[in-house]
Amino acid sequence: SVVSAPPVKPASTAEPTPASEVPTAVDAVELQLKDAGKEQLRQMGIHAAVAICLHNFPEGLAGFISTLADPSVGATVAFAIGVHNIPEGLCVALPIYYATGSRLRAVLWAAICGLSEVLGALIAWIIIKSNGEGLGDLSYALSYGLVAGLMVMMVISEFLPAGFKHDPEDKIVTNAVVCGMAVMASSLCIEIY
Protein backbone atom coordinates (compact mmCIF):
# COMPACT_ATOMS: atom_id res chain seq x y z
CA SER A 1 0.00 0.00 0.00
CA VAL A 2 1.18 3.39 -0.90
CA VAL A 3 1.16 6.01 1.79
CA SER A 4 0.30 9.41 0.51
CA ALA A 5 1.65 12.58 1.91
CA PRO A 6 -0.69 14.99 3.60
CA PRO A 7 -2.17 17.56 1.26
CA VAL A 8 -0.07 20.64 0.82
CA LYS A 9 -1.85 23.91 1.36
CA PRO A 10 -1.33 26.18 -1.59
CA ALA A 11 0.52 29.39 -0.88
CA SER A 12 -1.78 32.32 -0.29
CA THR A 13 -2.35 34.28 -3.44
CA ALA A 14 -4.02 37.11 -1.56
CA GLU A 15 -1.99 40.24 -1.50
CA PRO A 16 -0.96 41.53 1.91
CA THR A 17 -3.08 44.27 3.40
CA PRO A 18 -1.53 47.65 2.67
CA ALA A 19 -0.38 49.53 5.73
CA SER A 20 -2.87 52.30 4.94
CA GLU A 21 -5.79 49.90 5.55
CA VAL A 22 -4.60 48.54 8.88
CA PRO A 23 -6.51 50.23 11.71
CA THR A 24 -4.29 52.35 13.91
CA ALA A 25 -4.63 54.15 17.22
CA VAL A 26 -5.23 57.34 15.24
CA ASP A 27 -8.22 55.69 13.52
CA ALA A 28 -9.62 54.72 16.91
CA VAL A 29 -9.27 58.29 18.19
CA GLU A 30 -10.91 59.67 15.04
CA LEU A 31 -13.80 57.24 15.52
CA GLN A 32 -14.22 58.39 19.12
CA LEU A 33 -14.17 62.03 18.00
CA LYS A 34 -16.78 61.23 15.35
CA ASP A 35 -18.98 59.57 18.00
CA ALA A 36 -18.44 62.54 20.32
CA GLY A 37 -19.46 64.87 17.48
CA LYS A 38 -22.64 62.87 16.95
CA GLU A 39 -23.42 63.07 20.67
CA GLN A 40 -22.82 66.82 20.57
CA LEU A 41 -25.20 67.11 17.60
CA ARG A 42 -27.81 65.01 19.42
CA GLN A 43 -27.54 67.21 22.51
CA MET A 44 -27.79 70.34 20.37
CA GLY A 45 -30.94 68.97 18.71
CA ILE A 46 -32.52 68.18 22.08
CA HIS A 47 -31.60 71.60 23.49
CA ALA A 48 -33.06 73.23 20.38
CA ALA A 49 -36.22 71.15 20.76
CA VAL A 50 -36.70 72.28 24.36
CA ALA A 51 -36.05 75.92 23.47
CA ILE A 52 -38.38 75.81 20.48
CA CYS A 53 -41.12 74.05 22.47
CA LEU A 54 -40.91 76.85 25.03
CA HIS A 55 -40.89 79.38 22.18
CA ASN A 56 -43.87 77.80 20.38
CA PHE A 57 -46.05 77.51 23.46
CA PRO A 58 -46.71 81.29 23.81
CA GLU A 59 -47.06 81.54 20.02
CA GLY A 60 -49.97 79.12 20.30
CA LEU A 61 -51.48 81.33 22.99
CA ALA A 62 -51.02 84.45 20.85
CA GLY A 63 -52.33 82.80 17.70
CA PHE A 64 -55.48 81.56 19.40
CA ILE A 65 -56.23 84.84 21.17
CA SER A 66 -55.58 86.93 18.04
CA THR A 67 -57.93 84.66 16.09
CA LEU A 68 -60.65 85.20 18.68
CA ALA A 69 -60.16 88.96 18.52
CA ASP A 70 -60.18 89.13 14.71
CA PRO A 71 -60.16 86.03 12.47
CA SER A 72 -58.36 87.86 9.62
CA VAL A 73 -55.56 88.89 11.99
CA GLY A 74 -55.49 85.33 13.35
CA ALA A 75 -55.08 83.94 9.82
CA THR A 76 -52.19 86.33 9.15
CA VAL A 77 -50.55 85.45 12.46
CA ALA A 78 -50.99 81.73 11.74
CA PHE A 79 -49.38 82.14 8.30
CA ALA A 80 -46.43 84.10 9.70
CA ILE A 81 -45.93 81.56 12.48
CA GLY A 82 -46.13 78.73 9.97
CA VAL A 83 -43.46 80.32 7.75
CA HIS A 84 -40.99 80.71 10.56
CA ASN A 85 -41.76 77.27 11.97
CA ILE A 86 -39.99 75.76 8.94
CA PRO A 87 -36.49 76.89 9.97
CA GLU A 88 -37.33 76.10 13.60
CA GLY A 89 -38.18 72.53 12.62
CA LEU A 90 -34.94 72.28 10.68
CA CYS A 91 -32.98 73.49 13.73
CA VAL A 92 -34.33 70.50 15.61
CA ALA A 93 -34.52 67.86 12.90
CA LEU A 94 -31.13 68.29 11.23
CA PRO A 95 -28.91 67.78 14.30
CA ILE A 96 -31.05 64.82 15.41
CA TYR A 97 -30.89 63.27 11.92
CA TYR A 98 -27.13 63.69 11.54
CA ALA A 99 -26.53 62.38 15.07
CA THR A 100 -28.77 59.31 14.78
CA GLY A 101 -29.18 58.70 11.06
CA SER A 102 -32.91 58.28 11.71
CA ARG A 103 -35.32 60.38 9.67
CA LEU A 104 -38.19 59.17 11.84
CA ARG A 105 -36.57 60.44 15.05
CA ALA A 106 -35.76 63.76 13.41
CA VAL A 107 -39.34 64.22 12.21
CA LEU A 108 -40.80 63.13 15.55
CA TRP A 109 -38.68 65.62 17.50
CA ALA A 110 -39.68 68.43 15.11
CA ALA A 111 -43.35 67.39 15.33
CA ILE A 112 -43.25 67.47 19.13
CA CYS A 113 -42.00 71.05 18.89
CA GLY A 114 -44.88 71.96 16.60
CA LEU A 115 -47.39 70.33 18.92
CA SER A 116 -46.31 72.60 21.77
CA GLU A 117 -47.93 75.42 19.80
CA VAL A 118 -51.20 73.49 19.71
CA LEU A 119 -50.87 72.89 23.44
CA GLY A 120 -50.43 76.65 23.95
CA ALA A 121 -53.63 77.31 21.99
CA LEU A 122 -55.49 74.68 23.99
CA ILE A 123 -54.38 76.22 27.28
CA ALA A 124 -55.42 79.68 26.04
CA TRP A 125 -58.84 78.26 25.25
CA ILE A 126 -59.08 76.68 28.74
CA ILE A 127 -58.06 79.95 30.43
CA ILE A 128 -60.54 81.98 28.41
CA LYS A 129 -63.30 79.42 29.09
CA SER A 130 -62.58 79.48 32.82
CA ASN A 131 -62.30 83.23 33.45
CA GLY A 132 -63.60 84.86 30.27
CA GLU A 133 -60.66 87.28 30.12
CA GLY A 134 -57.55 85.55 28.84
CA LEU A 135 -53.96 86.23 29.81
CA GLY A 136 -52.67 89.53 31.10
CA ASP A 137 -49.96 91.67 29.56
CA LEU A 138 -47.52 90.71 32.32
CA SER A 139 -47.87 87.01 31.44
CA TYR A 140 -47.16 87.70 27.78
CA ALA A 141 -44.23 90.00 28.52
CA LEU A 142 -42.67 87.50 30.91
CA SER A 143 -43.11 84.45 28.68
CA TYR A 144 -41.89 86.15 25.49
CA GLY A 145 -38.93 87.76 27.28
CA LEU A 146 -37.81 84.48 28.82
CA VAL A 147 -38.21 82.56 25.57
CA ALA A 148 -36.36 85.25 23.58
CA GLY A 149 -33.43 85.03 25.99
CA LEU A 150 -33.43 81.27 25.75
CA MET A 151 -33.45 81.32 21.94
CA VAL A 152 -30.65 83.91 21.75
CA MET A 153 -28.50 81.83 24.10
CA MET A 154 -29.13 78.72 21.95
CA VAL A 155 -28.00 80.60 18.84
CA ILE A 156 -24.89 82.06 20.49
CA SER A 157 -23.80 79.02 22.46
CA GLU A 158 -24.77 76.14 20.15
CA PHE A 159 -26.01 76.93 16.63
CA LEU A 160 -23.33 79.39 15.49
CA PRO A 161 -20.38 77.44 16.95
CA ALA A 162 -21.68 74.24 15.33
CA GLY A 163 -22.09 76.05 12.01
CA PHE A 164 -18.57 77.49 12.11
CA LYS A 165 -17.19 74.08 13.10
CA HIS A 166 -18.49 72.71 9.80
CA ASP A 167 -17.67 75.89 7.84
CA PRO A 168 -14.41 77.18 9.37
CA GLU A 169 -13.73 79.53 6.44
CA ASP A 170 -17.23 81.03 6.79
CA LYS A 171 -18.23 80.54 3.18
CA ILE A 172 -21.84 79.73 4.11
CA VAL A 173 -22.72 80.38 7.77
CA THR A 174 -22.87 84.19 7.76
CA ASN A 175 -24.86 84.26 4.51
CA ALA A 176 -27.24 81.65 5.92
CA VAL A 177 -27.70 83.73 9.08
CA VAL A 178 -28.58 86.78 6.98
CA CYS A 179 -31.02 84.70 4.89
CA GLY A 180 -32.60 83.36 8.07
CA MET A 181 -33.03 86.89 9.41
CA ALA A 182 -34.61 87.93 6.11
CA VAL A 183 -37.12 85.06 6.34
CA MET A 184 -38.01 86.05 9.89
CA ALA A 185 -38.29 89.73 8.99
CA SER A 186 -40.53 88.84 6.03
CA SER A 187 -42.80 86.75 8.22
CA LEU A 188 -43.07 89.63 10.69
CA CYS A 189 -43.90 92.07 7.87
CA ILE A 190 -46.63 89.69 6.70
CA GLU A 191 -47.93 89.53 10.25
CA ILE A 192 -48.04 93.34 10.56
CA TYR A 193 -49.82 93.89 7.25
Please indicate whether residue 45 or residue 187 has the higher confidence score (pLDDT). 45
Mean pLDDT of all residues belonging to the chain: 77
- pLDDT classification of 110: cutoffs 50, 70, 90: very high
The 10 Å CB-count burial string (b at 16+, else e) for 140-174 is eeebeeebeebbeebbeebbeebbeeeeeeeeebe
Reported as a pLDDT band with limits 50, 70 and 90, residue 185 is confident
Lowest mean pLDDT among 70-79, 140-149, 152-161: 140-149
The yes-or-no verdict on residue 113 having pLDDT over 70 is yes
Provide the 8-state DSSP code for 70.
-
- Distance (Å, whole) CA 87 – CA 73: 23
Residue 184 pLDDT level (bands cut at 50, 70, 90): confident
Reported as a pLDDT band with limits 50, 70 and 90, residue 7 is low
Supply the pLDDT for residue 175: 94
Task: Give the percent of the chain with pLDDT over 70.
Answer: 72
Check residue 172 and give its pLDDT: 93
pLDDT at 29: 47
- Tell me: the pLDDT tens digits for 149-178? 777 887 788 778 888 888 899 999 999 999
Q: Quick one: DSSP state of residue 172?
A: S
Q: What pLDDT sits at residue 193? A: 60
Count CB atoms within 10 A of the CB of residue 182: 10
16 versus 183: the higher-pLDDT residue is 183
122 with 147: CB under 8 angstroms? no
- Of residues 6, 94, 79, the one with CA closest to residue 45: 94
Q: Which of 36-50, 97-111, 126-140 has the lowest mean pLDDT?
A: 126-140
**pLDDT at residue 12 above 80?**
no
pTM metric for this prediction? 0.56
* Angle value at C-alpha 68, between 120 and 53, nearest 5 degrees: 15
